[in-house]
Amino acid sequence: MQITSTRGISARLPVAAASVTAAASAIANLWHRLPSQCAVCRAWPASRICERCVARFAFRRHRCLTCAMALPPDIAQCGECLLHPPALDACTAALDYAYPWSDAITAFKFAGDPGWSGTLARLMLRAPRAASLRQHAELVLPVPLSRERLAERGFNQALLLARHLALPGTLHSRLLQRVRHPSAQSRLGRRERLRNLQGAFAVEPRMAHRLAGRDVLLIDDVMTTGATLQAAALALRGAGARSVSAWVLARTA
């Protein structure tokens, strides 16, 4: 397995380097590992995360069909989705957003280490119904970043994951666009977030015809309230998509 140092990536992405915060650097240092060493338990030789750590930390959970909230096995949908049916036809997540995945995602996203994408994408295949969502998708769309955020980070983490996951000919990275990035999103609840995100996404007008009657699958790294995916799904449905589902790496509890 190849290891790329954070410094090496930053050198190639000078704009991204400026945005690496002290906290992210600290985590990146923590997550520095020797080639063939597990980033979690330091076992050697191992892939980036060893099989024992995957078995220990990547629990397979039963999840709500439409928001991926962890649920007891006999319940199909959570109360919130029953009360307020979401714009997503289906939604699944591979992991809980908790240790060690929260650290791995930070290293992947903020410390400029896209070398994580293959490892994390493989974990996404463990999500409930992942195989059928992937098979069913006619268009696979990574949740886009705003232009400013993309310039700051240097890459879109959702696109890096989607490249590993989309079946041939289904990936479209420019069809869905982020028009603006809302501010102070983290302090808002689910419904306030959605209101804050209205108009945040748009479909590229020259490609909109490709959506008509199609089954779309959104890919993202982390889902919190689901408001971002919800806003993206509304934009895609408004442009004619037949169904919109979402497949995320990790979901907060």
Residues found near Zn ion in the complex (CB under 5 A): 38, 40-41, 43, 50, 53, 64, 67, 69, 78, 81
As measured in angstroms, the least distance from the Cβ of 42 to Zn ion is 7
Please give the Cα distance from 246 to 253 (Å, whole number): 17
CB nearer Zn ion, residue 3 or residue 208: 3
CB nearer Zn ion, residue 20 or residue 68: 68
CB nearer Zn ion, residue 38 or residue 161: 38
Cβ of 161: how many Cβ atoms within 10 Å?
27
CB nearer Zn ion, residue 69 or residue 218: 69
CB nearer Zn ion, residue 85 or residue 199: 85
DSSP string, 212-249: TT-EEEEEEEEESSSHHHHHHHHHHHHTT-SEEEEEEE
CB nearer Zn ion, residue 26 or residue 76: 76
Torsion from C-alpha of 215, 221, 225, 228, nearest 10 degrees? -60
As measured in angstroms, the least distance from the Cβ of 223 to Zn ion is 11
**Residue 130 is encoded by which pair of tokens?**
């992942």
Pair 193, 185: CB distance under 8 Å: yes
**Cβ contacts of residue 187 below 8 Å, gap of 6+?**
none
Q: Which helix (H) or strand (E) element contains residue 250?
A: strand 243-251
As measured in angstroms, the least distance from the Cβ of 100 to Zn ion is 9
As measured in angstroms, the least distance from the Cβ of 77 to Zn ion is 5
**Residue 137 is encoded by which pair of tokens?**
């998708």
As measured in angstroms, the least distance from the Cβ of 73 to Zn ion is 15
